[in-house]
Amino acid sequence: MNNKNKPPKILVARAIFPEALAKLEESFEVRSNQEDRIFTPEELQKALSEVQGALVAGSERIDASALAQARELKVVANISVGYNNFDVPAMTAAGVMATNTPDVLTDTTADFGFALLMATARRVTESEHWVRAGHWDKWSIVNNPLGMDLHHSTVGIIGMGRIGQGIAKRALGFGMNVIYHNRSHLSDADEKACGAKYASMEELLRTADHVVLVLPYSAESHHTIGAKEIALMKPTATLINIARGGIVDDAALAQALQAGRIFAAGLDVFEGEPSVHPELLKCKNIVLAPHIASATEKTRRAMVDLAVENLRAGLDGKRPPSLINSI
């Protein structure tokens, strides 16, 4: 086999479903990581220097340093819709296509946003701990973990993309009043479909009974919610973050929860995850999840399949279906 006919080399930086890996091995020379140990920056730089394509996830930061030796790399396919692990200008400058996995996870992620909202407002995990700790014999009309209602309350959604709109549609089924804040207003038709009204950030924070964060992370959205914003929220309000760590100032949130400044929080994402701020771990009025909003088997398979489709297209010299940058 001459060099031209050799299969392209690819990196699969995190463990994927074995059947998907076996399929890739039919067309590519694959360096896989089924033991799922996260690469150090040095290991990632070296691994990228040896391949033409890579499948990665949020744990792999793809920036100028990671790309420094990647002379043959054509495409990096994220198995994720969010791509704050990509330095897109650096990838473009290096001539590397960047892709993500939109759409396939919208409903699953919106379902989870709603699940976390319900669990937080109704203190589901706290109640489970109560049962496990043997407190059920203390059941009383007034002394149960008493929660906040969702029905006929106001939900404020910050970030009204596909997932935010999915949460709004679910909220309508609960008879909730939906307000949103976003960089741009939705079209009249989309606002109508979601039953949602635009609000300024301050109005949303002051009015909402439940604040749900679904906006993408960027330097501009860093600490969108900090002590100052929490101070505007109702003391009875809940805060749900399914967006990205860093959108919320976790230290400020922990202080607010400990002081009873807001009712409760539900977090699927954290600053510096997989670490969780130690003060958040001390809070009772919190529901914690390990970044699982897209985690159903069907959806995670669909995300891998779309990432593979993007990778194959990029390596075949075609436009990947979810290309982020212009190469």
Where do contacts with ligand DGY occur on this chain (CB under 6 A)? 80-82, 105, 291, 293-294
3-state secondary structure of 150: coil
Helix, strand, or coil (residue 265): strand
Phi, psi values for residue 155, rounded to 5°: -105, 135
Catalytic: 42? Answer: no
Among the listed residues 120, 83, 122, 105, the one whose alpha carbon sits nearest the alpha carbon of residue 293: 105
Identify whether 129 is a catalytic site residue.
no
| List of long-range contacts for 28-32, beta carbons under 8 Å, 24+ apart | 28/53, 28/315
Q: How far is the CB of 236 from ligand DGY (least distance, A)?
A: 28
- Mention every residue, 6+ apart, whose C-beta is less than 8 A from residue 64: 87, 90, 93, 94
Q: Which is nearer to ligand DGY, 253 or 307 (CB)?
A: 307
For the CB of residue 86, give the shortest distance to ligand DGY in the complex, in Å.
Answer: 11
Give dist(CA 174, CA 107) in Å, integer: 17
Q: Which residue is nearest to ligand DGY (CB)?
A: 82
Taking the C-alpha atoms of residue 159 and residue 225, their distance in angstroms, rounded to an integer, is 13
* Best CA proximity match to 17, nearest among 299, 314, 217, 287: 299
Question: Nearer to ligand DGY by C-beta: 154 or 241?
Answer: 241
Would you list the DSSP string of 16-52? --HHHHHHHHHHSEEE--TT-PPPPHHHHHHHHHT-S
CB of 58 to ligand DGY, least distance (A): 7
- Residue that is written with structure tokens 């699982």 in the block: 292
244 an active-site residue? yes
Catalytic residue among 50, 126, 273, 309: 273
Q: Of residues 206, 222, 223, 291, which has the active-site annotation?
A: 291
Rounded least distance, CB 242 to ligand DGY, Å: 8
Smallest gap, in angstroms, from Cβ of residue 294 to ligand DGY?
4
* Nearer Cβ to ligand DGY (207/296): 296
Nearer to ligand DGY, 196 or 293 (CB): 293
Q: Which is nearer to ligand DGY, 232 or 292 (CB)?
A: 292
Distance CA 317, CA 89 (A): 20
Catalytic residue positions, numbered: 244, 273, 291
